[in-house]
Amino acid sequence: MSALQSLTYNVVSSLGDGTGIPEAELHDLIARHERLAHLCDQLEACADKLPVWPNEMEAGRLREALEAYVERAAEHEDLLVTQTFGRSLQSPLAEALIHHVDLRHIDDLIHAQDLIAALGTTPTANARISAETFGYMLRCFFAASRQAMVLEELAILMLGHESLTPDGKSLLINGLCRRVA
């Protein structure tokens, strides 16, 4: 289950009890999104330089950043599945939103793994994909990742509008403003 599912469970279970959504969870989500946004910026810069491929050092740095992203996502997903296993949300809209966000995260992970493989190819012209294909792969990842972050934050705002604290709402709105600017 995703961070959105965990937060939404907290929203649904805290509605009316006056506790609100724990801001620590929101800070963690925004911090993960900031790291991912930085990675997207790096990959976009790489795409903008094409048809010149990244040198071996830059490719290694990008590959390591993507591997770290995939690893953190896997660790986080396992933790959330353990915490929320068996809990069901009571709103079909909430479940549909969460399902859509989860599918976007899965797409992001698949794109990241494809980029890791592409960045691991040898620098000989015959052994790697075309610059156009690589550019398309980069753009698919960073465009989709940015959209997924916005969707996730909007969904939390919508689903948690009654139990987000003013500071929590502000945190999410500021994150959205940075992403859509």
Does position 18 have pLDDT exceeding 70, yes or no? no
Where are the alpha helices (H) located in 15-130, listed in sequence order? 23-49, 56-84, 92-119
pLDDT tens, residue by residue, 70-120 = 998 877 654 332 233 234 456 787 777 777 888 888 899 999 999 999 998
Separation between Cα atoms, residue 55 and residue 151, nearest integer Å? 34
Full-prediction pTM beyond 0.85? no
- In angstroms, how far apart are the furthest CA atoms of the chain? 63
pLDDT tens, residue by residue, 145-165 = 999 899 888 888 887 777 788
Mean pLDDT over 47-66 rounds to: 95
Separation between Cα atoms, residue 120 and residue 83, nearest integer Å? 35
Tokens 């709402």 sit on residue: 169
Contacts with 174 (C-beta within 8 Å, 6 or more apart), sequence order: none
Going along the chain from its start, the domains and CATH numbers come out as: 3-180 (1.20.120)
37 in Cβ contact with 178 (< 8 Å): yes
Which uninterrupted H or E stretch holds 175? helix 166-180
152 in Cβ contact with 101 (< 8 Å): yes
